[in-house]
A and B are shown apart, each in its own frame.
Chain A
Amino acid sequence: MLPATNKKRETEKVWPRRRNLFSSRLARQVGWLLMVGAAWEAVARAGIYPPILFPRLSDVFVALLAEVRGGEILARTGWSLGTISLGVALAVTISIAAAALALGLRPLRSLVDALLNVLHPLPGIAVLPIFLLWFGTGAPAVLAVVVFSCIWPMVQNLLAGLESVPRTQIDAGRNLGLGRARLALFVLIPASLPYALAGLRLAWARGWQTAVAGEMVFGAGGGDGGLGWFIYKRRFFLEIPAVFAGMLMIILIGILVEHVIFGTLEHLTVRRWGMSRTE
């Protein structure tokens, strides 16, 4: 099969012509995952480890299916998504207010900077014990810790975004006679959108991590909690495939949010406008 195709390739010099299964990035990643999954399954079936430590991948999927049918994993996922979304929304609102104030009033800028420098390095999970005391267990503590984790990357990105707006675009806006409000609405906000989106992405990731970790380590969600509590509980009942199923759910949500929601958002905005900072 080689000679014919190769001769052609030499003359046409078009490597994309060979569009086999592995030419798309997605297909390649899926290929890798399938291979790793097959390796996992093979090891599990070899029976060297007790299945309770190393369940078969197929059992994990069976458990996931069973949990989905039973409804609990969906309810827990819903709880997590709801709480984290609310937390991120609150954090975004606070961040926008903080960024606006910091931008509008010089002395506040240094206050925001100081808070940012001190509190940004503090992982949300580290303040959880205190938040549990202040806000009580369950949704309030999880919400508080999600807000705490999300605010700092969000504020930082918003400020960086506002500072990155090209001077010329601001001048062009002022030239059109735009006042402060309209300049902010029609120029500053869209121009800093790439940073805002990056911040939102980071905020979501941090909020999600903190909430799940908090529920797992501190049982912060309580009996009414989210996916973290689900995994926590299943762990104590040694339902290891279900623990993996919970993780799988976290991964699925992650992929969904990252690629479908943020990806679409980016494609509709910054990517389309050629403002994307990634790629």
Chain B
Amino acid sequence: MGMLPDYQQAKKTTPLLVVNSLHKRFPAPGSGGDLTVLAEVELAVHRGEFLSIIGRSGCGKTTLLRCIAGFEKPSRGSLRIEGREITGPGIDRMMVFQDTEQLFPWLTVLGNVEFALQAARVPRRERRARAVHFLEMVGLERFLDYYPHQLSGGMKQRVAIARALSVRPRMLLMDEPFAALDAMTRSLLQQELLQLWQQTKATIIFVTHNIQEAIIQSDRILVLRPLLPAGSTGSRDPAFIRAAGGGAGPVLNPGLGSMAALIDNPLPRPRQPDMPGFGVIWRQLHRLIGLEVGTRAGLVAQPVAEPAAQPVAEAAPVST
């Protein structure tokens, strides 16, 4: 009934991104000790996949994304893109930030995209045409000569997306790019992003705290959870690790790492909140994120294993 996500085919080849046993610690302010933000992250992302990372604030979503982008170095473990270790930021992993100040205010809309193309060593004569092409894709062809401060927040984020896509990165890393926007703009941009994703066959890792956004957009959803304060590195569960590579169905991580679950989202596209099955996944995610309120034991004791494929006719839950 639905079309098979591209990544289902891609899965058969080697993954684009492989995250192995990733730990990230920061020096805790004041105490002199370390604060572990990420532990035991195991992940494989395939070409063309749309992966969302969701979780409550402070659970390390952005840190994981920044590790992939190369802004942060892992304290332990490794990140590989096409087999090569990630050692720093690179133009092959373009980040779209939540902050609308990410555009350079001294460059025009066109200038911002052209600057990225220059950094990507695109020959001068090709830059303009390519920049215009990507700005057309986000519907800003009439605003080429505007400066960022003359644009609305939504338009700025569109420019940022165009800028990121224009250099044809291997993956697009998006850190709650629509969080600062109003609900209507946000929903519009979600649809546009999905169109762009399908047009460009980009690989997208998308951090959000909005469950509905995650379900509508992504092929898979990684749920992160805050770590316990001390001695938090638990044993690794081989079953989970296997599943994290792209197994079917939601998988729970009984260990103590950052990953609460990595679930598949088989809903056919285009997705609406009132479609069958949506509510099941929504509740599942809601519980996974909400479970963290309770004891850690609760997670192990009540594994959520509601089959997602089973259609459930019900009213769509109101999104967060």
Contact = CB atoms under 8 A, between A and B. Distances in A.
Would A and B touch once assembled, by the CB under 8 A criterion?
A: yes
B101 A175 contact: no
Interface in A155-170: 166, 168-169
A190 B106 contact: yes
Given A171-B71, A273-B147, A176 B116 contact: yes
Interface residues of B, number: 26
A191 B149 contact: no
Most buried by B among A166, A168, A186: A168
Contacts of B102: 166, 168-169, 171-172
A275 B105 contact: yes
Contacts of B90: 175, 177
Size bracket, chain A contacts: 20 to 34
Interface stretch (B15-23, B92-100, B219-227, B269-277): B92-100
A175 B69 contact: yes
A212 B167 CA distance: 55
Given A169-B101, A172-B102, A186 B115 contact: yes
Nearest to B151: A274
A171 B148 contact: no
Contacts of A272: 147
A249 to B, nearest CB: 36
Contacts of B95: 171-172, 175
Contacts of B120: 176-177
B70 to A, nearest CB: 8
A174 interface: yes
A169 B99 CA distance: 9
A178 B119 contact: yes
B89 interface: yes
B202 interface: no
Interface string B82-117: 000000111101110101011111100000000110
Interface in A197-249: none
A76 B102 CA distance: 49
A269 interface: yes
Given A168-B101, A175-B69, A191-B104, 9 more contacts: A168-B102, A169-B104, A171-B102, A174-B88, A174-B89, A175-B89, A175-B91, A178-B119, A190-B104
Interface of A: 166, 168-169, 171-172, 174-178, 186-187, 190-191, 193, 269, 272-275
